[in-house]
Chains A and B, each alone.
Chain A
Amino acid sequence: MSWLKKLTSGLKKSSDAVTASLSGISGLFGKPKIDAGSIEELEEALITADLGVRAATDIADSLRSRKWSGPVDADQLRAALAESLTEILADAEAPLEISAARPHVILLAGVNGSGKTTTAGKLAARYAGQGKKVILAAADTFRAAAIEQLDRWGARSGVEVVAGERGGDAAALAYQALEKAQREQADILIIDTAGRLQNRAELMEELAKIIRVLGKLDAEAPHDRVLVLDGTVGQNALAQLRIFQEIAGVTGLIITKLDGSAKGGVVVALAREFGLPLHLVGVGEAAEDLQDFNARDYARALVGLDPA
């Protein structure tokens, strides 16, 4: 099943939800003609998909001011909406590229419970499956059993996990892992870090330190600094990205848990404001459920159109 199908099927299942949401859009599109009221409904549907008021209003305004030739039917409006969304998201469509550097270091950061450890495991499985030599580093030394959780993922895909003691120094662990990856000429090092809320200065400083010490071994490392976002997150995602970017120089995003009823529409707001790549989306629990983001498919799924 493609990620898109999963996404769309997830969205369909939630259609009896209390919010108008996407089913609201569908209902709206059932009408023969559109009017000002239906565009307002659409604006609200975008808000309930977590686009935020500003993005939703701007997109609705652009539809309002558009010159339509003749009466507009539902499909036309739907297509126009998908187009606007695709346009906003187009620049965000950029897969995670492995640079020429060996090892290429990927650091995963984010707030608690966003799915970093699972994503680290899935990424490792993905690259190991491509025949790359991958090392996982369990730099979440805080959460109980985070190390065990990563160990399980490593065992599943035959990837070695560098881990230390719980409560140990995360930066030191990351440093050791990079040393080892360099020594053993690994292709990719994936570093899982502890969840941290962006308003906790001391925890953000710990993240900055991890990056600083990695820079001592390889000035470019970590090559990818990925913020992992929970698909159910609301407008706080903007604050998350702003501060993680300041502290860790985030280079791209991964959004997880899009197989539920949440649509992750905040990525539209993030794309408008930050223009960072959205590398991957998580749409299920299996390793292959972490898939490349496609702007057009996502936009069309969001408004209830087939990908074609």
Chain B
Amino acid sequence: MFDSLKDKLQSVFSGLGKRGALSEADVDAALREVRLALLDADVALPVVKNFMASIREQAVGATVLKSVRPDQQVIKIVHDGLVAMLGGEAEELKVDVTPPAVILMAGLQGSGKTTTAGKLALHLQNKHRKKVMLASLDMTRPAAREQLRALGEQAAAGILPESDSETPLQLARRALKMAQLKAYDVLVLDTAGRLSIDDALMTELREIKKETNPHEVLLVADALTGQDAVNTAKAFHDQVGVTGIVMTRLDGDARGGAALSMRQVTGCPVKLVGVGEKLDALEGFDPKRLAGRILDMGDVVALVEKAAESIAEEEAMRMAERMAKGKFDMNDFLTQLRQLQKMGGLGGLLGMLPGIGKMQKQIAAAGIDDSMIKRQEAIILSMTRKERVSVGLLNASRRKRIAAGSGTSVQEVNRLVKQYQDMARMMKKMGSKAGAAGLKALMGGGNPLAAAGEGGADSAALPDMASLQQQLGSGSNPLAGLGRGGLPGLGGLPGGKVGGPLGGLPPGPRRGRKK
């Protein structure tokens, strides 16, 4: 459909190859593309206009750094501008007050309030060590209260007993009283979804706020929202008063421009983001990551972070040492498989890469899913200890036995062995070189992005897909190794060939989109 902003900016500046200051003409040409990218990302038009004006001022006359191309310089300026506009730093919920801290959830119908209330209970219990009570004031949507009760039970939070005869305001009073009596730290009030233009319901929300005096009024908003995000945010903020925003469905492939619009129009920070259907899929907000996403540079930062999170440091060290010695056996392969599963399986991993929609269909069509990883795991588990260490032992009859033992076929066993051999060869090659150091740098704490960017020609430390890929592809980390050898589980991908990092995935935002 359309090229990524990066491609477009590259073409705007192509042939210029100039150094020195950015001219007005350069900047204007580039900013036209930036404007289009922002509007495509559903950033509201008035917000885009403001932003463009301030960016233009900064960009004209900005010196192009020596090792950076003009398009990269512009992206950098735009990216930093977005980050600043999104609030720069992440902000925490205000719950460390004299208990009970009251959190009021508000938002349009279907924005995800009830689910978020449930997630919030779990989040506050786990991360803030708070005793949480949930109360539904939603008397409108059928079964909204049942939904909150079910979520509350999952989160092991307290729940306000329901009653059909009370108004939302009466329920709120009773909830507050009960939270005080039973010494809850936090009371989360879920409300009915309402249109921002519904005066009666907005008045009710105002009354509930007055009655319960909440420490946080969270506006829950869908990341898929279009231009109307500014109207919604403004209406809720003007009529009720909001202290923070929760963006839901950021696990989708929407670019999430609504967050920028809402932040801008209310001045309230985005405090949390919903990133999945499970109860623990609620995260703190990272302005940098969202800025990268709005500019469509892929959520590579998130990918690297997630990898860093789930691959335990010691394990990484152990692997690094083994690789340095050129040792890589089936046990290590198994570890890799399991790490992949920890990273949310293929679905979770693929979902974070840009332009992946098409690939996912191919993958689904080829029957490659997480069950395939499980089957591969079963194959390895059906090997004897000796076999796992020296794969050379695997003759035809052993392979037959393994196939029978794991409930797979000999072909599948063969495919796995082939994948393992490719990978082991790669590991050996990189072993003596950057392997160990790179792995330690990447996995051993610190800023994983910075580590990945080190030694690259591109000194503008942007979450730049291309440069990251060069890094990933240059064999300085285990993901690259996975790529060359084929990511376990992706062996049967249609087209066969595994190319870029993460084997067989498209190299960037480009390929998933048609012109």
Q: Which residues of A contact B (CB under 8 A)?
A: 10, 13-14, 17-21, 44, 47-50, 52-53, 111-115, 121, 142-146, 148-149, 151-153, 166, 197-202, 204-205, 208, 230, 232-239, 242-243, 246-247, 257, 259-263, 266, 285
B253 touches A236 (CB 8 A): yes
Neighbour of A236 across the interface among B230, B254, B356, CB < 8 A: B254
A202 touches B347 (CB 8 A): yes
Question: Cα distance A239–B252 when bound, in Å?
Answer: 10
Neighbour of B361 across the interface among A20, A114, A166, A246, CB < 8 A: A246
Neighbour of B109 across the interface among A115, A148, A153, A205, CB < 8 A: A115
When distances are taken between beta carbons in the complex, the residues of chain B under 8 Å from A266 are 226
Of the stretches B138-146, B209-217, B491-499, the one at the interface is: B138-146
A48 touches B249 (CB 8 A): no
Chain B nearest CB from A41 CB (Å) reads 11
B265 touches A18 (CB 8 A): yes
Q: Determine the residue in chain B with the shortest Cβ distance to A202.
A: B347
A235 touches B141 (CB 8 A): no
B195 touches A261 (CB 8 A): yes
Question: Cα distance A297–B370 when bound, in Å?
Answer: 48
When distances are taken between beta carbons in the complex, the residues of chain A under 8 Å from B29 are none
B147 touches A144 (CB 8 A): yes
B110 touches A262 (CB 8 A): no
When distances are taken between beta carbons in the complex, the residues of chain B under 8 Å from A236 are 42, 224, 252-255
A143 touches B147 (CB 8 A): yes
7 further contact pairs, Cβ within 8 A, besides A198-B252, A201-B346, A262-B228: A18-B234, A19-B46, A48-B44, A112-B277, A145-B149, A232-B226, A237-B226
A47 touches B231 (CB 8 A): no
When distances are taken between beta carbons in the complex, the residues of chain A under 8 Å from B149 are 145
Q: Determine the residue in chain A with the shortest Cβ distance to B230.
A: A18
Q: Which residues of B contact A (CB under 8 A)?
A: 1, 36, 39-42, 44-46, 108-112, 115, 118, 140-151, 154, 195-197, 222, 224-232, 234-235, 248-249, 251-255, 257-258, 265, 277, 345-347, 350-351, 356-357, 360-361, 363-364, 369-370
Given A197-B252, A234-B257, the answer on whether A48 and B45 have CB atoms closer than 8 Å is: yes
A261 touches B235 (CB 8 A): yes
When distances are taken between beta carbons in the complex, the residues of chain A under 8 Å from B253 are 197-199, 236, 239
When distances are taken between beta carbons in the complex, the residues of chain A under 8 Å from B345 are 202
Question: Cα distance A121–B253 when bound, in Å?
Answer: 29
B108 touches A232 (CB 8 A): yes
For this complex, 20 residue pairs linking A to B, each with C-beta atoms less than 8 Å apart, are A17-B230, A18-B234, A18-B265, A44-B45, A48-B44, A48-B227, A53-B39, A112-B110, A112-B277, A144-B118, A149-B141, A151-B142, A153-B142, A197-B253, A201-B363, A201-B364, A230-B110, A234-B254, A257-B109, A263-B228
Chain A nearest CB from B260 CB (Å) reads 12
Question: Cα distance A114–B224 when bound, in Å?
Answer: 10
When distances are taken between beta carbons in the complex, the residues of chain B under 8 Å from A44 are 45
Given A145-B150, A153-B142, A234-B257, the answer on whether A111 and B351 have CB atoms closer than 8 Å is: no
Chain A nearest CB from B202 CB (Å) reads 11
A-B contact count (CB 8 A): 201
B351 touches A200 (CB 8 A): yes
B110 touches A50 (CB 8 A): no
When distances are taken between beta carbons in the complex, the residues of chain B under 8 Å from A262 are 226, 228, 231
A19 touches B227 (CB 8 A): yes
Neighbour of A260 across the interface among B108, B148, B249, CB < 8 A: B108
When distances are taken between beta carbons in the complex, the residues of chain A under 8 Å from B251 are 197, 199-200
Q: Determine the residue in chain B with the shortest Cβ distance to A243.
A: B357
Chain A nearest CB from B57 CB (Å) reads 22
Given A53-B39, A111-B249, A233-B224, the answer on whether A19 and B110 have CB atoms closer than 8 Å is: no
Neighbour of B140 across the interface among A198, A230, A233, A285, CB < 8 A: A285
A261 touches B143 (CB 8 A): no
A234 touches B227 (CB 8 A): yes
A113 touches B146 (CB 8 A): no
When distances are taken between beta carbons in the complex, the residues of chain A under 8 Å from B227 are 19, 21, 47-50, 234
When distances are taken between beta carbons in the complex, the residues of chain A under 8 Å from B108 are 232, 257, 260
Chain A nearest CB from B193 CB (Å) reads 9
When distances are taken between beta carbons in the complex, the residues of chain A under 8 Å from B42 are 234-236
Query: Which of B118, B147, B230, B360 has the most chain A CB within a 10 Å cutoff?
Result: B360
Question: Cα distance A107–B452 when bound, in Å?
Answer: 46
Query: Which of B41, B142, B151, B265 has the most chain A CB within a 10 Å cutoff?
Result: B142
B150 touches A113 (CB 8 A): no
